Amino acid sequence: MEPCVDAWSESLPLLTPRLALQPVGEADVSALATLGNDFEIAKHTARMPHPLTEAAVANWLGSHGPNKTALKVCRRSDGEILGQIGITRTEADRGDLGYWIGRDYWGEGIATEAAQAILDFAFAELAMDEVEASCRVTNPGSRRVIEKCGFQPRGHGLMHSVAVGGTVPIERYGLDRKTWRSLKTWAHA
């Protein structure tokens, strides 16, 4: 099975001071299933089942096509997988950000660092004009990641959560190219 990042893989891995974001491959199925098999993670996602089995991860990996990029979030120093992050192209110039980090690594800024890297990739390399993100209203950690990346509130809604087995309330956010560019400029001022 090939990594699920097709033509986009030419720019990978994405490197940050602490992380390497790399295509997910068949060899990662077991590690992702073990790390993500946690209801506290799954209940905040739309499509992650609980329990998370290797078969479910392999099925998810096999379902990725040319409009999706799914990357494993690894520590640069030793290659340990810390979570997963991805962008799904929803329109020609728009995408949707999704991520999860293993619970042992919460509160270390890993999700923010990974999200900033993949957003830079989405705007600079994939030529997206806007990226959307959402989080459950009961997930302040994810909300903080989204806010630290510069996303602006776009309202509330509902999403179906496979792990919860029903509909849950969410907050919606958006980040456009102009705002992203301004944030990058301000960071270097």
Does 7-187 carry CATH code 3.40.605.10? no
Mean pLDDT of the chain: 91
pLDDT in tens, 7-54: 456 778 999 999 999 998 889 999 999 999 999 999 999 989 999 999
User: Which has the closest alpha carbon to 148: 99, 92, 78, 94?
Assistant: 99
What pLDDT does residue 5 have?
Answer: 41
- Phi/psi of residue 25, nearest 5 degrees: -130, 175
Q: What whole-number distance in Å separates Cα of residue 164 and Cα of residue 138?
A: 13
Domain boundaries, the chain: 7-187
What pLDDT does residue 174 have?
Answer: 98
What pLDDT does residue 66 have?
Answer: 61
b/e burial code for range 39-53 (CB count within 10 A of at least 16 → b): eebbbbbeebbbebe
What pLDDT does residue 189 have?
Answer: 57
Q: What whole-number distance in Å separates Cα of residue 6 and Cα of residue 21?
A: 15
Q: What whole-number distance in Å separates Cα of residue 100 and Cα of residue 83?
A: 6
| Structure token pair of residue 74 | 């690894």
Angle between helices 54-62 and 29-36 (to 10 degrees): 120
Q: What whole-number distance in Å separates Cα of residue 29 and Cα of residue 53?
A: 9
User: Which has the closest alpha carbon to 8: 76, 71, 97?
Assistant: 71
Entry pTM = 0.91
**CB-based contacts of 130: which residues, under 8 Å, 6+ apart?**
93, 94, 95, 174, 175, 176, 177
What pLDDT does residue 55 have?
Answer: 95
| Ranges of residues in the chain whose predicted pLDDT is under 50 | 1-7
